[in-house]
Structure 1
Amino acid sequence: MTAVAAARERAAKGAWVVFAVGALAYVVTVANRTSLAAAGLDAQHRYGISAGTLSSFAVLQFLVYAALQVPVGVLIDRWGPRRLVVLGAATMGAGQLVLAFSTQTWQAVLARVLVGAGDAATFVSVLRVTTNWFPPQRVPVMTQLVGLFGQLGQVFSFVPLVALLHGPGWTPAYAGIGAFSLLATALSVIVLRDVPPGRENPRVTKPLREVGGDLRAALRHPGTRLGLWSHWATPFSGNAFATLWGFPFLVSGQGLSAGTASALLTLYTVTAAGTGPLFGTFVARHPLRRSWLVLAIVGAQAVVWAVVLLWSGPAPLALLALLVVVAATGVPGSLVGFDYARTSNPAHRLGGATGMTNVMGFAASVVLILLVGVLLDVQGAGTPATYSLEAFRVAFALQYPLWAVGVAGILVSRRQTRALMARDGVVVPRVRDVLRERRAGGVVHAPVPARHDAAGDR
């Protein structure tokens, strides 16, 4: 083996080691993010709060997360992603330790603020590490793999954490997840690096005016906006379900046992993890058809939710399982939005563009989580004993206006992106033309955007 080949092999192995630690950091992040989901009823009892107050915990967490996305993206460009991963894991660990020993509502609120802040710093930073260490053609699949491993964090929330809550109790359960976060902090310090050895670190220090100019330039590109709306439309249904309202909906609304509800939420996690690599492969092979995947996911969610909400009485278990599966596809589907940001922006403004993209899905999630809690309270479902299926039907119907806004944004920005491509001389063949040529024995080749300042879709 030549010295060059040996160096390449070491670099490849190093990339996978770095990826493994980054993925572990995201596992911890998702575990922290969803750690209140299956404990919602326990939290109401511990703090003596209503459904609206409980929903405000998750809303505040997501608001902090969303508000910090653009600053975190700018800091990634300035400080590098490794420092942000370390800071995020340490902050989440501190938040969970506060929650573990909290007995008053204000302490729980502080804990969720810390968790939201740490969560905000982690995912986009791990994505940047992945982008820096792997070749561009592999980035879509690697991004989905990050999401896949992150779903293990939800498994932790839905199974071991529930067992700890109903066994040793609240304090050991949340102190344990806090310790898990501090372990991820230590591993990130030891292993993570911004870029492979010998490669120039793209960190740049810019004046505030230039940072604002980069953000405006990213937002002006229709491909970036297509990513924003893709991330808005796909994940909020699953986020609201997995983060807070799925367990009460299944137990109090649909009459399932806690064990069956936990099994369905585990199915949610397995589906989100399993479909991620499939979606990543599709995006890598068909970058001009990414919006098809996004619109198909949104359409499937809307249809299945309609069937569940209109069903007379509690829905059959098979239908609820289908609902969980379809809702789960929104999580990996939302990652398509980051691929739009990546292909629409040069490296020096990628952090800000990624942060803006990430804001959208969580903004929609905040709206849904908050309004579900408010509507449950308005209908008299302020305690676990008074949750009703009818109240949940009204509350979850709020998803449809959010989907409508997202789909409209996708269609408008997609048309603008196609117009920009046409001005650059890139013509994307229509699907019927491709199919006609294939039936005739020919092949129509759709050009794939090669520059970071051009994005294609059809």
Structure 2
Amino acid sequence: MRMTSGIRLIPRRYLEWGILSFAYTVAFMQRSSPQTVDLYLIRDFQTTTSGVATLASAYFWGYALFQIPAGLLVDRYGVRRIALLSIGVSSIGSTVFSISDGIATAFFARVIVASGDALVFTSLLKLVALRFPGRRFGLFSGLSQVSGYIGGALATTPLAVALTHIGWRGSFGLIAAVSALNLLCGWFVLPEIAKLQKKNITLRSVIFSAVRALKKSANWGCAMTFASHFAIVTTLAGIWGLPMIEDYFGVDASSAGIPLLGFMIGNAVGSVLLGHAADIFRRPDRTLIVLCVFRAVLIVFLTPALAHGLGFAFITCDFATIGILAGGTVPLVLKCTKRLYTSEFIGVGASINTTTAGIVAAIAQPVIGIAMTASNEAAIDPTFSHALVNDAGYRSLIEILVALSIPGVLGPMVMAKSMMTDLRSVKEEINDTSILKPS
């Protein structure tokens, strides 16, 4: 390939991937931010632990609501239009959140943010499926997840530092501005993929594909697997992980962020290593069962009685190991999704998976909040050090997370037959090249 300008030193598809990956970084940071900002919201909005849990659920309701059309829209109208819409809506939502004057306004703003963020990962996945060879799909879907985990890492200590210096309003205003800048970059770089696909995909064909997919048990098995992963990881690392570490070991937010940072680093490592392995495994469904069982065992170690005895260093390693398993789960699920739906309608598959996951996570948050409050009668420290949750409350949390692991084991079993018999797709993945001309 001749390099005619400075920008051509980097293949265009990597620039496209970089813009959407950055958008996913911001989206993941938004999703993981409640655990860092919740104490400030409790103080400013005069709410309780249950109130924060309800506010956290706002993101998942918005996320689930717009996952329903996300795959249909991306498959029909292409990455460029939907990705730009996604980034723009998220930026507007962040702006509204930064100026919200109460729980109701903040709830509405978080729904807006989630509505935009709901579209970005499906767009990113579609871009990877179309712009990169099939034999590299697992690797680049894993790398795409790494960009999200970077956002999760930014939502821990870095966001905590920003909150200290410019407050939560200034921090989310800055996030809105950065998203707006990324929107401008995307306007000039992102391709109109819908016009370049081999087939002219109509909205009718996409809807028909979605309806047909809903009738297949294997597809629901894939959705169950992802929903289990998403609900557990988001609850643990995005909402209750940080306050749990603070309360277990009596440390400040910066120190409590270390295990969460280890979790995000573990996610990145797992995404790359198991993402590459996903391109080799013929039966990713079997691997998913092993990962889910192992993850459930590691979550049990977070039970208050065990955590106190094992100590801070062990729990940090535990979080990091859970992160490795979580990071490896996503590319394996995506590999199953691509095999079940094919590249043409992978947006539909991603939409069904993430809609199911968003609904499960949204329902789980109030249930967890109620269970923790009932076990604990959570109170607010008048000195604003942290929301006091005792061991009984956290024990209820861990029990619910372990229970949520059950669908993660059953899901791969449901799709096992389809994964075992679909050997033609495996051969297709090995020989597949990108649908679009590489640039």
Same fold per superposition (TM over 0.5): yes
> Is 1:206 equivalent to 2:203 in the alignment?
yes
So what's the TM-score if we normalise by structure 2? Answer: 0.88
From the superposition, tell whether residues 202 and 160 of structure 1 become closer, same or farther in structure 2 (CA, over 3 Å): farther
**Residues 223-269 of structure 1, C-alpha deviations (whole Å, 9 max, x = no match):** 53342232123232221122211111111244232221112211111
Once residues 401 and 266 of structure 2 are traced to their aligned partners in structure 1, the CA distance between those partners, rounded to angstroms, is 21
**Equivalent in the alignment of 1:330:** 326
Alignment of 1:132-171 (within 5 A): 132-171=130-169
- Alignment match of 2:190 (pick from 189, 192, 199): 192
> Is 1:311 equivalent to 2:305 in the alignment?
yes
Deviation of 1:331 (Å): 4.1
Identity %: 20
Letter in 1 for 2:378: A
Letter in 2 for 1:225: W
Greater alpha carbon shift after TM alignment, 134-143 vs 248-257 = 248-257
Greater alpha carbon shift after TM alignment, 217-226 vs 314-323 = 217-226
Secondary structure at 1:256 match in 2: coil
In the alignment, structure 2 segments of 5+ residues that lack a partner are 381-385, 430-439
**Equivalent in the alignment of 1:296:** 290
**Residues 335-358 of structure 1, C-alpha deviations (whole Å, 9 max, x = no match):** 322221211224443221221022
Deviation of 1:61 (Å): 0.9
**Equivalent in the alignment of 1:450:** 427
Once residues 220 and 338 of structure 1 are traced to their aligned partners in structure 2, the CA distance between those partners, rounded to angstroms, is 19
Deviation of 1:142 (Å): 0.6
Contact residue 149 and residue 267 of structure 2 kept, 8 A: yes
Letter in 1 for 2:257: S
Deviation of 1:406 (Å): 2.8
**Residues 177-197 of structure 1, C-alpha deviations (whole Å, 9 max, x = no match):** 11111112111111111439x
> Is 1:412 equivalent to 2:411 in the alignment?
no
**Equivalent in the alignment of 2:362:** 366
So what's the TM-score if we normalise by structure 1? Answer: 0.84
> Is 1:378 equivalent to 2:410 in the alignment?
no
CA RMSD of aligned residues (A): 2.7
Secondary structure at 1:397 match in 2: helix
**Equivalent in the alignment of 1:123:** 121
Contact residue 85 and residue 116 of structure 2 kept, 8 A: yes
Deviation of 1:221 (Å): 4.3
Contact residue 93 and residue 178 of structure 1 kept, 8 A: yes
**Residues 127-186 of structure 1, C-alpha deviations (whole Å, 9 max, x = no match):** 111211111111110111111122111222213321121122222111111111111211
> Is 1:248 equivalent to 2:243 in the alignment?
yes
Contact residue 258 and residue 316 of structure 2 kept, 8 A: no
Contact residue 378 and residue 389 of structure 2 kept, 8 A: yes
Alignment of 1:9-408 (within 5 A): 13-195=11-193, 199-200=196-197, 204-207=201-204, 210-221=205-216, 223-286=218-281, 288-309=282-303, 311=305, 314=308, 315-328=310-323, 329-379=325-375, 380-383=377-380, 384-408=386-410
Once residues 38 and 385 of structure 1 are traced to their aligned partners in structure 2, the CA distance between those partners, rounded to angstroms, is 12
Letter in 2 for 1:449: V
**Residues 319-377 of structure 1, C-alpha deviations (whole Å, 9 max, x = no match):** 21133123323244133222212112244432212210222333333333322211122
Letter in 1 for 2:156: F
| Greater Cα radius of gyration, structure 1 or 2 | 1
Once residues 361 and 175 of structure 1 are traced to their aligned partners in structure 2, the CA distance between those partners, rounded to angstroms, is 28
Aligned residues: 420
Higher relative contact order (CA 8 A, sep 6+): 2
Contact residue 52 and residue 382 of structure 1 kept, 8 A: no
From the superposition, tell whether residues 67 and 391 of structure 1 become closer, same or farther in structure 2 (CA, over 3 Å): same
Once residues 226 and 313 of structure 1 are traced to their aligned partners in structure 2, the CA distance between those partners, rounded to angstroms, is 33
